[in-house]
Chain A
Amino acid sequence: MPLPWVLVFFAWGGAALLAALPPRLGVARFVNIGVSAGSLVLALALLGYPHGEQGWTRIDGLNLPFVAVSAIVGLTTAVFSAGTVKGERFDDLRARAYHASFQLFMGAQFLALIGDNMGVMWVAIEIATLASVLMVGVHGTPAAVEAAWKFFILCGVGIALALFGTTLLYLAAQPVVGSGDPGLSWAALRAVAASCDGGLLSLAFVFLLVGYGTKAGLVPLHSWLPDAEAEGPLPICAVLSGLLLNAALLAVLRAEAIVGAHPGALPAGPFLIGFGLLSLLLAAFSLWWRKDARRLFAWSSIEHVGLATLAFGIGGAVANLAGILHLLGHSLVKSGVFFAVGAAAQIKRSQKVADIGGLAASHPSLGWGLALGIAGLAGMPPFALFVSEFSLVAEGAARLPWLVLPVGLGLLVAAAALIRAMVALCLGVPTRDNPVEGAFALPGGLLWATGPVWLHLALAAALGFAAPAGFVALLREGARILG
């Protein structure tokens, strides 16, 4: 089996193992870490794999960085999950379902990133949806079921529309590529796009944008995201915000790259700029009204995906690079922040901002980690988000000067709201601790959360200012692929 498929099936094999493992052994959470660590090794090995398409998969500069970051976030999430899973108080069945669907989700996430065939990519995103619905609803409380149901219905319609778009894409290419698998291969479609029917390509893009855009949490298709983030088990926020949104947005970008290769088709840029700007502005103002810490950071994910979409809408090598860097930096910082917020929620037995206060004084390592992470989300140096936002604004100002005002407004309003949240959560007088039973009972205690948090912060800083030359070359190649 080629390495890309090994990566996918390793995670799925882990899911089968976790589903079969008798819960009374009590080792599921460590097996989960082991499977995630194995996936990380495979993902890093993939960095040296020859680029190009191979059957239904492809490896290129666009998806490799995302595969690597997904595997890293997957491992740290598994570690964090091991520290907090007792505090979730699952019964045996739920614990099994939770661990198995986590690895099912990871495998589907990898497949969605490396899929070259648009049909395979669609199936992967569908599997990821099913697995994440299961994870969001696993608690079975009315609120969790409500959130899972909303997620299911909205994303179900979304991916249904994406399938219609995929059909249209093939219909457009059919006279040129003929029948058989190449008809849905991204590489083949992109090569022949210029001689396909422009009208059909445009129609296909609209469906793919709306369909996958729902999964990426773009306003006005975002309303499932805050609920799903707030009601699911703590660790899944990290993978929903950090990974799922990236895979969905990447699918939109693959579609854009095909349609963009046809000179007569609908220009995709203005659509992306519109969706991005709307997401940025709505999220920036919504951040002010949030009282639930997890909802607050879910809205911040909408803001950041909006910013990245905006960057891809502007297009060109610089803006695309900024967009890719922004998505990667956001994955790292946001999942770190979710680890810290999750740990605080278990220590304080509440996820309301008002109940979590003064973390920096009471739990310095956790509190300062959270404070730095929130500062990173607000666009402060030394994290990757600072670099990407800076180059996005500079490029926007040079190419589309009118953009500077709304983008600047959105960034400022969002940053101010985040700083206010940081002051409320981390500084000030500590609130009373009231830990959930079983939270951080493993040896090492809070290290199971603070370790991942600080690792993510370090990686995000390195990504912004000290990325290895080879990795930067990879990012540049990804930006070039998007054109």
Chain B
Amino acid sequence: MNGFGTPAYDVSHLLGGGVLLLSFVLLYQRRIGAVINGFAVQGALLACAAAWQAYVQGAPGLYLTAVIAFGAKAVAIPLALRLLVGRLGLHRAVETSLGIGASLLAAIGLVGLSVLVVLPVTAGGATPLARVDLTIALSVVLLGMLAMIARRNAISQVIGLLSLENGLILGAVGVAGMPLVVELSTAALVLVAAMVAAVVVFQIRERLDTLDTHILDRQRGDA
């Protein structure tokens, strides 16, 4: 059970690998729209991974996590960000503070690092499934941090943090029997959702360089 060659292991490995792959995609996209799309796909894959874990572990609570993750990360947040980008006319390329090539090389280094950190440490107790899951989760977390450092503007920093949080959820759902996992993943989602709400205000300031409430009112009137 839970070893290489069993469906439980292979499918979660595949889904986790997909989430990690999307983290790389987020790093090399230059256009904001493409970054948002990449994040939406990552959210959908994360929801599949959570649902698969719910099935494998026989933990119905995780289906709830999967549904919430899908609704928020694959649909609602990308939609909100797209509306914001459209309304502010931000169709320009993302400013990077680290070149694309350099960030991809750094990303490969970080994945290697998390393999080197997690696999020896977990050699004792954890199941093979949990070990691989944790390695992938840590890689996604580190790549999210890298995306935050590599990008300048607020919107792509938030997407970096959102994908970091995807890594957290991936890690938490992969640990069988984790208490409060649904509550914790929902609470983490509230945090990033608040951040998305904040970026709406922040982008207005970045663009118009003011936060006068009557300008906010005018923006609201436009919508």
Binding site for B on A (CB under 8 A): 91, 117, 119-120, 122-123, 126, 129-130, 133, 137, 140-142, 145, 148-149, 152-153, 156-157, 159-161, 163-164, 166-168, 170-172, 174-175, 178-184, 196-200, 202-203
| Contact with A142, one of B124, B194, B209 (Cβ below 8 angstroms) | B209
B130 interface hit (Cβ, 8 Å): yes
Interface pair B164/A197, CB less than 8 Å apart: no
Provide the bound-state CA to CA distance between A149 and B168, in Å.
22
Q: Which residues of B contact A120 (CB under 8 A)?
A: 180
Of the listed residues B179, B194, B201, B213, the one surrounded by the most CB atoms of chain A closer than 10 A to its CB is B179
Provide the bound-state CA to CA distance between A198 and B175, in Å.
17
Interface size on B, residues (CB 8 A): 48
Q: Closest A residue to B192 by CB, please name it.
A: A156
Interface pair A179/B184, CB less than 8 Å apart: no
Contact flags B208-223 to A (C-beta < 8 A → 1, else 0): 0111010000000000
Provide the bound-state CA to CA distance between A172 and B130, in Å.
11
List 13 other contacts, CB 8 Å, given A142-B211, A164-B141, A174-B177.
Answer: A123-B183, A126-B188, A130-B190, A142-B210, A149-B202, A161-B141, A170-B179, A174-B175, A180-B177, A181-B179, A199-B123, A200-B124, A203-B117
Chain A interface secondary structure, helix, strand, loop or mixed?
helix
B108 interface hit (Cβ, 8 Å): no
| Contact with A145, one of B138, B165, B178, B205 (Cβ below 8 angstroms) | B205
| Contact with B175, one of A149, A171, A182, A197 (Cβ below 8 angstroms) | A171
Of the listed residues A130, A160, A174, A180, the one surrounded by the most CB atoms of chain B closer than 10 A to its CB is A160
Q: Closest A residue to B121 by CB, please name it.
A: A199
Knowing A164-B138, A203-B117, say if A171 contacts B130 (CB, 8 Å).
yes
| Contact with A156, one of B117, B177, B183, B195 (Cβ below 8 angstroms) | B195
Chain B interface secondary structure, helix, strand, loop or mixed?
helix
Knowing A170-B175, A170-B179, say if A123 contacts B187 (CB, 8 Å).
yes
Interface pair B176/A179, CB less than 8 Å apart: yes
| Contact with B120, one of A167, A170, A196, A199 (Cβ below 8 angstroms) | A199
Interface pair A163/B134, CB less than 8 Å apart: no
B161 interface hit (Cβ, 8 Å): yes
Provide the bound-state CA to CA distance between A170 and B181, in Å.
11
Interface pair B178/A183, CB less than 8 Å apart: yes
Q: Which residues of B contact A148 (CB under 8 A)?
A: 198
Interface pair A163/B175, CB less than 8 Å apart: no
What are 7 A-B contacts defined by CB distance under 8 Å? A119-B183, A126-B187, A126-B188, A164-B138, A170-B178, A179-B177, A184-B180
Residues 122-163 (chain B) with a chain A CB within 8 angstroms = 122-126, 130, 134, 137-138, 141, 145, 148, 154, 157, 161
Taking the closest CB of chain B, its distance from the CB of A151, in whole angstroms, is: 10
Interface pair A160/B188, CB less than 8 Å apart: yes
Interface pair B171/A119, CB less than 8 Å apart: no
Interface pair A141/B122, CB less than 8 Å apart: no
Residues 29-61 (chain B) with a chain A CB within 8 angstroms = none
Interface pair A178/B177, CB less than 8 Å apart: yes
Interface pair A157/B180, CB less than 8 Å apart: no
Interface pair A117/B120, CB less than 8 Å apart: no
Q: Which residues of B contact A140 (CB under 8 A)?
A: 211, 213
Taking the closest CB of chain A, its distance from the CB of B25, in whole angstroms, is: 21
Taking the closest CB of chain A, its distance from the CB of B72, in whole angstroms, is: 16
Provide the bound-state CA to CA distance between A61 and B213, in Å.
48
Provide the bound-state CA to CA distance between A203 and B131, in Å.
13
Knowing A123-B183, A157-B148, A179-B179, say if A152 contacts B198 (CB, 8 Å).
yes
9 nearest A-B pairs in the assembled complex, by CB-CB distance = A179-B177, A199-B121, A119-B180, A197-B125, A197-B124, A123-B187, A140-B211, A181-B179, A183-B179
Knowing A142-B205, A152-B195, say if A160 contacts B180 (CB, 8 Å).
no
Knowing A119-B180, A157-B148, A183-B178, say if A200 contacts B122 (CB, 8 Å).
yes
B191 interface hit (Cβ, 8 Å): yes
Q: Which residues of B contact A117 (CB under 8 A)?
A: 179-180
Q: Closest B residue to A130 by CB, please name it.
A: B194
Q: Closest A residue to B130 by CB, please name it.
A: A171
Taking the closest CB of chain B, its distance from the CB of A263, in whole angstroms, is: 15
Interface pair A167/B188, CB less than 8 Å apart: no
